[in-house]
């Protein structure tokens, strides 16, 4: 008999703690199942539901109840700007909204439950294929109407792969602070529910002292983050903290600066802990690649290999498969976790499988003789400067490696690179470094000092906001 999906766990989990929240309240798998079933009974199958997310048991109940009921949730940040929220409502017209009790209600209240309210809007369900299970925004927290259409099979396949390569067991207690409406954060939840582990669910961030008290009190065994998280952890002197129960660090959400990867990899080796560098995308449900911890020092800067059940290939400019090693090409991924495709309007929810298990990532990468892949930049994040091809991500990594504590972002167009920096370093100093490093005339660089680099809730740089400056 095949095992149940992670949203239908076996009865043997019932006595275990499923969630511990910020208040220290513990919810068992049996209690969580009862909460989920009560909400699921109120949902019509194949209806569209907006789940306004906080990292609380209530939001988790809404997500799991939708999966159990066969309703299709769109996961959104509860803190989403009001104007953007109205725009999303106008485009997608959900039949239900699952929202915190503190929000104003627009519609008929069907159920008050677990600190949340189920509101019925009166909108009819859109046409959707039976396999469609979840909708996610492409960046986790923006108001863009572009959605990724994920299937039940996508969710379970990616969950199984993650459990496999991370060797997740019932004894794990991950600190789940990444947004639930972000695929990385959601994958942590999925993969640990699948084995009956305990989620330490918190709204606090690593920049707040209650976060670390929560981690210590509840003996967190794993901590995950995006590159920005690890930059902050380094500034917080995380590697000097006494966290004896913490055994695993995982990083995804963009390429980590090699100097930070090296520092955390050496720390993990010395402390007998595991440090995983990973690679993924919303379009592939969450994860596509990982670097085994025992290669993290030797292969510093690399992304790794495909997750179990997946595979990579590289394409040249003509779309032909690259068979040689150490040649840069566009990275393509194949796997059961590849989503159906995008939706940019309500009618698109009826679309079938546009991707057919194949995702052209838009990332440029190379492969070495061991079959380990290294991301060198985005296909669209390359410019021609005086005839030379330059990677904007490479410039960012070089600046971070050369100027301690700097935060930066790089954009622009051909022959004109814009650099935004924060911190104590002057634009003149940065420009001198860049002209010396790349041997371009100083007119190629426009360096601007700003107070903060704008980022979304998952720590990714908002380049469009910078360009608008």
Do 318 and 392 reside in the same domain of the chain? Answer: no
Question: If you average pLDDT over residues 202-229, what whole number do you get?
Answer: 96
Do 305 and 441 reside in the same domain of the chain? Answer: no
Report pLDDT for 3: 84
How many structural domains does the chain have? Answer: 2
Question: If you average pLDDT over residues 308-320, what whole number do you get?
Answer: 96
SS3 category, 211: helix
pTM given for the model:
0.86
The answer to whether residue 4 is domain-embedded is no
Report pLDDT for 336: 98
Do 25 and 64 reside in the same domain of the chain? Answer: yes
Do 289 and 407 reside in the same domain of the chain? Answer: no
Bridge partners, residue 306, by sequence? 289
The answer to whether residue 1 is domain-embedded is no
Domain with 201 in it: 11-367
Question: If you average pLDDT over residues 231-254, what whole number do you get?
Answer: 95
128/405 Cα distance (integer angstroms): 48
Structure tokens at 149: 């259409």
Domain boundary among 333, 367, 401: 367
Do 222 and 316 reside in the same domain of the chain? Answer: yes
- Lowest mean pLDDT segment, chosen from 295-304, 306-315, 440-449, 457-466: 457-466
Contact 8, 33 (CB under 8 A): no
The answer to whether residue 373 is domain-embedded is no
Question: If you average pLDDT over residues 315-326, what whole number do you get?
Answer: 95
231/235 Cα distance (integer angstroms): 6
Structure tokens at 461: 């740089």
Domain boundary among 339, 367, 395: 367
Do 139 and 261 reside in the same domain of the chain? Answer: yes
Report pLDDT for 387: 66
Question: If you average pLDDT over residues 415-426, what whole number do you get?
Answer: 91
Do 155 and 290 reside in the same domain of the chain? Answer: yes
**Residue 433: which H helix or E strand, with range?**
helix 427-438
SS3 category, 90: helix
Inform me whether the pLDDT recorded for 389 exceeds 80. no
Phi–psi pair at 408, nearest 5 degrees: -150, 165
């Amino acid at each position: 008999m095949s095992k149940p999906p992670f949203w239908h766990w076996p009865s043997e989990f019932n006595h275990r703690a499923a969630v511990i929240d910020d208040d220290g309240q513990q919810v068992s798998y049996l209690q969580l199942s009862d909460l989920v079933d009560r909400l699921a009974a109120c949902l019509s199958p194949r209806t569209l539901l907006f789940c306004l997310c906080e990292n609380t048991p209530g939001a988790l109940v809404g997500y799991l109840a939708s999966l159990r009921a066969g309703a299709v949730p769109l996961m959104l940040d509860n803190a989403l700007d009001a104007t953007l929220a109205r725009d999303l409502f106008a485009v997608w017209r959900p039949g239900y909204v699952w929202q915190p009790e503190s929000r104003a209600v627009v519609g008929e209240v069907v159920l008050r439950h677990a600190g949340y309210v189920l509101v019925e809007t009166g909108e009819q369900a859109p046409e959707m294929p039976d396999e469609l299970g979840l909708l996610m925004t492409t960046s986790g927290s923006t108001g863009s109407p572009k959605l990724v259409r994920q299937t039940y099979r996508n969710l379970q396949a990616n969950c199984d792969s993650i459990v496999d390569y991370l060797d997740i067991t019932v004894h794990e207690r991950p600190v789940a602070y990444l947004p639930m409406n972000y695929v990385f954060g959601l994958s942590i939840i999925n993969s640990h529910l699948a084995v009956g582990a305990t989620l330490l669910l918190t709204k606090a961030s690593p920049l707040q002292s209650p976060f670390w008290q929560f981690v210590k009190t509840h003996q967190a065994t794993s901590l995950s983050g995006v590159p920005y998280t690890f930059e902050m952890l380094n500034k917080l002197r995380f590697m000097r903290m006494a966290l004896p129960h913490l055994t695993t660090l995982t990083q995804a959400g963009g390429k980590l600066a090699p100097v930070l990867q090296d520092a955390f990899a050496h720390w993990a080796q010395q402390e007998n802990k595991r440090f995983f560098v990973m690679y993924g995308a919303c379009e592939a449900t969450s994860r596509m690649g990982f670097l085994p911890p025992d290669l993290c020092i030797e292969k510093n800067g690399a992304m790794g290999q495909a997750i179990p059940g997946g595979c990579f290939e590289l394409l040249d400019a003509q779309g032909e498969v690259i068979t040689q090693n150490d040649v840069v090409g566009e990275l393509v991924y194949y796997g059961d976790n590849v989503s159906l495709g995008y939706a940019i309007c309500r009618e698109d929810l009826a679309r079938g499988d546009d991707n057919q298990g194949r995702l052209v990532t838009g990332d440029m990468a190379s492969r070495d003789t061991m079959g380990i892949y290294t991301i060198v930049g985005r296909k669209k994040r390359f410019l021609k400067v005086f005839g030379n091809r330059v990677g904007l991500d490479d410039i960012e990594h070089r600046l971070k490696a050369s100027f301690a504590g700097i935060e930066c972002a790089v954009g622009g167009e051909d022959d004109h690179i814009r650099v935004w920096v924060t911190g104590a370093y002057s634009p003149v100093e940065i420009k001198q470094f860049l002209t010396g490093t790349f041997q371009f005339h100083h007119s190629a660089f426009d360096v601007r000092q700003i107070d903060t680099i704008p980022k979304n809730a998952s720590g990714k740089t908002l380049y469009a906001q910078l360009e608008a400056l």
